[in-house]
Structure 1
């Protein structure tokens, strides 16, 4: 049952800023969409954000992580890329990985990009306007 005071346009997710050994970050694109975004997904009612992230990374990329290893970076919001009129509220976690991943479930494509660029691809608003600028600022701090 939804709380009538909660905004029905809010999508709560756990997302990962996955950094590879070369400093590039992994982005995913869902089947039937154009925008690349951070891997992750919706947080189920019974889940903690880091647990939801671990589940989603396993389902979408075949990546097994220990939720304790995920470093919480903060909560970030932006217009949803694929749900018009909705806002994505992301609990963002930093993870460094050194394993191959491959798309599974609803993920059609994965790419590694230099976080200092847009990778010459269409990016979701949360990734383009919030997460990548946040990460770039943390590198120069």
Structure 2
């Protein structure tokens, strides 16, 4: 059986203190990086800019590819999520918009007890190794 895969693009956004922004979608308990699925014809950065504007109200200034990551999907049982993840700089005050219910800033080296998506844990391990 072919695994069911969700392809997305996500952003690692950090504040001046080095904390990382995570978001929780409405009706879920798991925090993840902001971002989402590409619309037909979109490249990574176009999709990322659109998603960041829609979800957190921030404008993408620039982004550098951190890598491609894969993990079990947090909210879609039986699916794998595959993400092109970018280190992103944004402008504007992040706010919970669209399907986002809550924002949090975490220490990537010590996120505490906040429930994180499996993909988040993979990315945090990569950030720690860098």
With structure 1 as the length reference, what TM-score do the two structures score? Answer: 0.87
Give the alignment partner of residue 41 of structure 2, picking from 43, 46, 53: 46
Total equivalences in the alignment: 129
1:30 aligns with 2:25: yes
Q: Which has the higher strand share?
A: 2
C-alpha contact 2:59 2:91 (8 A) present in aligned 1:
no
**Unaligned stretches of 5+ in structure 1?**
1-6
What is the CA–CA distance in structure 2 between the aligned matches of 1:82 and 1:114, rounded to whole Å?
23
Residue equivalent to 1:118: 111
1:133 aligns with 2:125: yes
Runs of 4+ in 1 over 4 A off after TM superposition: none
Q: Pairwise CA RMSD of aligned residues?
A: 1.3
Alignment of 1:101-116 (within 5 A): 101-116=94-109
With structure 2 as the length reference, what TM-score do the two structures score? Answer: 0.94
Q: Deviations over 1:49-101 (max 9, x none)?
A: 111010000000001114xx110111110000000000110000001346421
Larger Cα Rg: Structure 1 or Structure 2? 1
Give the alignment partner of residue 20 of structure 1, picking from 11, 15, 23: 15
